[in-house]
Chains A and B, each alone.
Chain A
């Protein structure tokens, strides 16, 4: 080891380089000035200056989700750190690997209510996978490498490293390389026990109505795991459905794909889940948006659950066969065991099962009617998909109806092309996430499908987009309502539209122009295709204001607290029975 003295900040930059980091998303302030000084004196790591720290975390999430790498954030103490909290919680809920470096007041002032002091490790403890306060420069390199290891291993998540200013300015010659650091306690189990694999294939071989329900965990496990999932499903010839977070894990246009399941999932996916006899859950967490009423959730099936996090298993739904392990590793073992034993499903039963599924599919639950010049939001999104699919775009979303329509009408053939806030449902996620994606894939087509309300939550990031010439396309499905809120008020609160109207909206075209972007407005169905093409062909950031039908609802919908078979398929379906009190309290 060289005896060269380095400051904490220089040491920090070295750890980042050794971790292969080439970009960080951040915002400066007093406590982190030493880091900014060190960044200034090097060229390997690019710093992207966001316009609010919340944007930095979402940008890092978009970067991480679209690359499989760890996203890195740098913010100052106090308000910088507190602004990051929403993004950290978002990353925790959706299992996104992020390392967030926060400045802190010098160690001797901690606890004194010093200027811009916040108890960052205290505040972020429940919204991170782990966090650290570095009190001694000697520990800095080890903690940094540990932070990256923890963020990306097992079930990925956000890690905060809180850095007091005196540690950043102190000097030390003690450096350790990533290979020299082994974590004392954290060793997630990635390989499943052989007997579990054997039990699983035997159980599957008995199935007459099997289904694979795959989630974000397969995306977390990587592109190879997604390939294995596809091979597994095709080998068995069984239907596959994905959660919102799992879209892209299985090819969207494959005939064995039933679409998304859950509250706004397809009729065929939900009925197949309800009626199956063996359910193979791989990397999905039985979220309440997916299960609906628990005591009516797939009541007659045997359930296998593959998850790298034992705490995801038997949390909401009791399963018959828990398998702890990495989705990729388990799928590989399942396939091998299936083939080695020369197992086959009962083909007659499987055929009858597919027949049933095709009947459900024939309901064509996503159909809608586009008449006249008023653009239906579904039509806008469907055309956006059809006109862009050949370019293999990366799609980010905000939160609301537009998000669900994007999930329904886009077909994702590959993983890591779909960035959405599923678990926390954070409005304002999409545009900064798209920014991070575009930075990672400079030549790709990156679109944020937005609502006019959500987009205003982080609209300041248009300035960041302009500064770095990121040609992100922001496609606003403008229904002039907080559509998802309006829909719930219509269906569940007697049409009392309390505070859900998007009043006093800005002129999005002028707004775009003032942020050095191109603004396009589309109000007529006739113009839609041309204008979408114009957007795609513009090599600059574009804000596309697409005015759509104001009061369209998103269907299918399983009202909160209802069962899969109580799905509303369209405006003519009424909420069958009054929603139970239990249902009304659900979010």
Chain B
């Protein structure tokens, strides 16, 4: 069969349901760094405190063969319950949240507010010479917004990384 060197690089969003036990995040991150896989974004939070489940969402990239490896490697980690490929296994929704701080006055300040309005970003903190905008959406949309803020006095950005969930009635 074909050698994986000839395959194209693709991006994937993978959801991993894990036991929320000490070291589990280090285990997942160590797997990626130890085996030379890419992490473009990684988020984690407990999603079921009673059952102590956490959900990790990883955006990664590689050839289809590497991506299959990544899933198999994640799946064999002892505290992992389930691995789901949200890009391949049907449609999914992806969101990211950003907090964007813009400092300045005069026209630039007015312009930043105008753009924020277009992008449906909310002001969550402000003074005479700064705004903090909160914005949720697809990562690309966040990228565009942040780019537009650059010349208008962008001083700080904090992003959550991607969270994702499959469309339709089924759970993970």
Which of these, A129, A130, A303, A314, contacts B69 with CB under 8 Å? Answer: A314
How many Å from the CB of B40 to the closest CB on chain A? 21
Q: Interface extent on A, as a size class?
A: 20 to 34
Q: Does B118 contact A (CB under 8 A)?
A: no
Q: Is the CB–CB distance between B27 and A315 below 8 Å?
A: no
Which of these, A125, A184, A311, A320, contacts B72 with CB under 8 Å? Answer: A311
Q: Does B88 contact A (CB under 8 A)?
A: no
CB interface residues, B 1-50, toward A, < 8 Å? 1-4, 18-19, 22-23, 26-27, 30, 34
**Interface residues as binary, B53-76 with A (CB distance below 8 Å gives 1, 0 otherwise):** 000000000000100110011011
Q: Does A150 contact B (CB under 8 A)?
A: yes
User: Whose C-beta in chain B lies nearest to the C-beta of A312?
Assistant: B72
Q: Does A33 contact B (CB under 8 A)?
A: no
Q: Is the CB–CB distance between B78 and A129 below 8 Å?
A: yes
A155: which B residues are within 8 A, CB to CB? Answer: 76
CA distance A186 to B30 in the complex (A): 19
A310: which B residues are within 8 A, CB to CB? Answer: 72, 75-76
CA distance A161 to B4 in the complex (A): 38
CA distance A295 to B4 in the complex (A): 10
**Interface residues as binary, A111-136 with B (CB distance below 8 Å gives 1, 0 otherwise):** 00000000001100110011101010
B81: which A residues are within 8 A, CB to CB? Answer: 184-185
CB interface residues, B 109-153, toward A, < 8 Å? none
How many Å from the CB of A315 to the closest CB on chain B? 6
Q: Is the CB–CB distance between B73 and A311 below 8 Å?
A: yes
A-B contacts counted at CB < 8 A amount to: 57
Q: Interface extent on B, as a size class?
A: 20 to 34
Q: Does A511 contact B (CB under 8 A)?
A: no
Q: Does A466 contact B (CB under 8 A)?
A: no
User: Whose C-beta in chain B lies nearest to the C-beta of A127?
Assistant: B34
How many Å from the CB of A185 to the closest CB on chain B? 5
Which of these, B3, B34, B69, B80, contacts A315 with CB under 8 Å? Answer: B69
Which of these, A184, A294, A311, contacts B76 with CB under 8 Å? Answer: A311
**Interface residues as binary, A299-311 with B (CB distance below 8 Å gives 1, 0 otherwise):** 0000100000111
How many Å from the CB of B5 to the closest CB on chain A? 8
How many Å from the CB of B53 to the closest CB on chain A? 10
User: Whose C-beta in chain B lies nearest to the C-beta of A122?
Assistant: B26
How many Å from the CB of B168 to the closest CB on chain A? 25
Q: Is the CB–CB distance between B78 and A133 below 8 Å?
A: no
Which of these, B19, B34, B68, B73, contacts A185 with CB under 8 Å? Answer: B19
Q: Is the CB–CB distance between B1 and A318 below 8 Å?
A: yes
Q: Is the CB–CB distance between A318 and B4 below 8 Å?
A: yes
Q: Is the CB–CB distance between A319 and B1 below 8 Å?
A: yes
How many Å from the CB of A572 to the closest CB on chain B? 34
User: Whose C-beta in chain B lies nearest to the C-beta of A302?
Assistant: B1
How many Å from the CB of B97 to the closest CB on chain A? 29
Which of these, A121, A183, A185, A318, contacts B23 with CB under 8 Å? Answer: A121
Q: Does A568 contact B (CB under 8 A)?
A: no
Q: Does A88 contact B (CB under 8 A)?
A: no
User: Whose C-beta in chain B lies nearest to the C-beta of A184?
Assistant: B19
How many Å from the CB of A182 to the closest CB on chain B? 13
Q: Does A313 contact B (CB under 8 A)?
A: yes
Q: Does B79 contact A (CB under 8 A)?
A: yes
User: Whose C-beta in chain B lies nearest to the C-beta of A121?
Assistant: B23
Listed residue (A154, A295, A309, A318) with the most chain B CB atoms within 10 angstroms of its CB: A318
CA distance A154 to B18 in the complex (A): 19
- Chain A: residues with CB nearer than 8 A to chain B? 121-122, 125-126, 129-131, 133, 135, 150, 154-155, 183-186, 294-295, 303, 309-311, 313-315, 318-320
Top-7 shortest CB links A-B? A311-B72, A318-B1, A130-B78, A310-B72, A185-B81, A186-B78, A311-B73
- Chain B: residues with CB nearer than 8 A to chain A? 1-4, 18-19, 22-23, 26-27, 30, 34, 65, 68-69, 72-73, 75-76, 78-81
